[in-house]
Chains A and B, each alone.
Chain A
């Protein structure tokens, strides 16, 4: 009888140990589960956000060719390089086409900080002196104002040339600013909030693309004159 009781007590002890062990492991896995559930929720949230972004980017990627084409158009208005020769070519071509004689066209400076006007965009500034009749001066401004690379004119002085042979001839002195935005210019983080798909912006891009673009005429390679070696060698006397 006593032996049976002893066995029962041992069994009870084993059951107690088993209970403690099972409770310990159960609690341990339960806490792991709660922790992982939190991180799983975080991952799920991140996936959801990424999915939203992915969807909006996918809808945007359908417009990739249009974005690329629009960027190329906008880059002709505010050039991605300083492009002083290009700007001077534009002004000279406009003046010549308008019937003005280019007396002087000088590069004055580039201002990388900001325009003196309201817009804080770097610009290249030229100073020009031209002669021609009043209509040519008028045409010059009309054409400059309609050129693809936006040009601000200021410090304008139109004076009649005092000369018996030059009746009706005017001299035009003007300062001209063309804008640029270098490729490495840091853009605002995220979108600026301007959507190129709005009706106004679509119209703007349409209008810009109809404006005349002036490009530098380059000589074809065949017309390049190779530099000749003009070095003279002297024989040293023995």
Chain B
């Protein structure tokens, strides 16, 4: 076989193989391009739908936001209200307790709430016995765990010569948080 013919045959074989390989590659590239194109357009259309959904949701949430604001406002105010109530002091309880322990022959002249831990109570007693009864009543009441009294101490006792009445001044110490409500409101 002439050498020229052999070379030509080899060349045509190479060309045939190259065209086959390139043909496969083009087919794969075509498939890849078509698939990418399809996926891209499919996703694009679903994106448009998603954006529409998102806008609708935003609109819907916005229309309901007023109630959320009101709920937050109520929560905020309830929190403050609970704190205010917890910190409130109830003086009627003390005035009522004093009335209970006051013997008939003792009159209150002055009640001064110096702080929330102690109260200065001044008064007039017809006798030393009545004054002693008052002190005793407060002391025995303080033993009751539900009582607001902690202890009582006399700071001044004076006998008025003209009237034979005894004026006194006492300091009543209160238990911790005694003026705070035992039950809320």
Contacts and interface: CB of A to CB of B under 8 A. Distances in A.
Given A9-B15, A64-B67, A160-B108, A121 B84 contact: yes
Interface stretch (A54-62, A102-110, A216-224): A54-62
A36 interface: yes
Interface residues of B, number: 70
A182 interface: no
Interface stretch (A26-34, A84-92, A124-132, A227-235): A26-34
Interface stretch (B22-30, B129-137, B155-163): B22-30
A152 to B, nearest CB: 6
Contact of B33 (A16, A22, A44): A22
Contact of A156 (B32, B46, B50, B91): B91
B80 interface: yes
B74 interface: yes
A68 B44 contact: no
Contact of B61 (A5, A16, A54, A150): A54
A208 B81 CA distance: 10
A33 B43 contact: yes
B40 interface: yes
Contact of B37 (A19, A29, A179): A29
B140 interface: no
A225 interface: no
B44 A36 contact: yes
B61 A57 contact: yes
A12 B19 contact: yes
B26 A22 contact: yes
B143 interface: no
A204 B75 contact: no
Contacts of A60: 64, 67-68, 71
B182 interface: no
A40 B46 contact: yes
Given A71-B73, A145-B90, A192-B75, A157 B111 contact: yes
Contacts of A54: 57, 60-61, 64
Range of interface residues on A (Cβ < 8 Å):
35 or more
B18 interface: yes
A15 B85 CA distance: 87
A22 B29 contact: yes
A188 B84 contact: no
30 contacts: A12-B22, A23-B33, A26-B35, A27-B36, A36-B47, A37-B43, A43-B54, A47-B50, A53-B61, A54-B60, A57-B64, A57-B65, A60-B71, A67-B71, A74-B81, A78-B81, A141-B90, A141-B95, A145-B90, A152-B89, A153-B89, A153-B91, A156-B91, A158-B110, A160-B108, A191-B75, A192-B72, A194-B75, A194-B79, A196-B71
Interface of A: 1, 5, 8-9, 11-12, 15-16, 18-19, 22-23, 25-30, 32-33, 36-37, 39-40, 43-44, 46-47, 50-51, 53-54, 57-58, 60-61, 64, 67-68, 70-71, 74-75, 77-78, 117-119, 121, 134, 137-138, 141-142, 145-146, 150, 152-160, 168, 170, 179, 181, 187-188, 190-196, 201, 204, 207-208, 211
